[in-house]
Amino acid sequence: MREKLTNPEDVRTWPGTIPVEYVYTAGVAGEAYLRAIKERGCLAASTCPDCNIDYLPPRLYCERCFAKTDEPRDVAARGVVETFTVAHRDLDGRPLEPPVIYAFVRIAGTAGGLIHRLGDVEPGDVHIGLEVEAVFRPPAERVGSILDIEHFKPVG
Ligand SMILES: [Zn+2]
């Protein structure tokens, strides 16, 4: 059965499921990043020997000059809040109590960072430039995921 729909309001849906199987691979540099989190409770970065840029997450090749970067090295999971938002509702519109704070954390000594939750802080106390550090799950509970970091909290 074929029909050409010319009016988008005529689009119909058929509820059901489509079985999809996949395997996610983090890649060589991504694996180094996730192993650092799981096995050593830190982050990993790589450096371009020509541009001297520290990539976090690590890259195999420099995004600017395409040179092969150095081997990933461990860096402390701390940095500063570069921007943040406070979510008062979840993706389905249900109220979040307490609200969830999401931030982009620029990792110290690198050109990179990551988006993660902030914890152990009230929304009104968060500001750009706030120094934060990662709170990791206990080593036995880590699975090699960015969620092995429970959240970032203010330093001190
Ligand atoms: Zn470079």
The low-confidence residues of the chain, meaning pLDDT below 70, are: 1
Ligand 1 centroid to Cα of residue 58, in Å, is 13
Cα 32 to middle of ligand 1, angstroms: 20
Gap between the Cα atoms of 56 and 65, Å rounded: 17
pLDDT for the residue numbered 1: 61
Distance CA(106)–CA(133), nearest Å, equals 11
Return the pLDDT at 12. 75
| Domain boundaries, given as residue ranges, for the chain | 27-154
Q: Indicate the helix (H) or strand (E) that contains 84.
A: strand 78-89
What is the Å distance from ligand 1's center to 111 Cα?
A: 12
Neighbours of 49 (CB within 10 A): 13
Give the burial class of 144: count Cβ atoms within 10 A of its Cβ; 0-12 exposed, 13-18 middle, 19 or more buried. middle
Distance 52 CA to ligand 1 centre (A): 7
Q: 137 C-alpha to center of ligand 1: Å?
A: 34
6 CA → ligand 1 middle, Å? 49
Cα gap 109→97, rounded to integer Å: 35
Ion ligand 1 — residues with CB < 5 Å = 48, 50-51, 62, 64-65, 67
pLDDT value, residue 4: 82
Confidence (pLDDT) at 14:
79
Q: According to DSSP H, which parts of 10-154 are helical?
A: 27-35
pTM listed for this prediction: 0.82
Distances, alpha carbon 61 to alpha carbons 66, 67, 129, 138, 146, in Å: 5, 5, 29, 32, 22
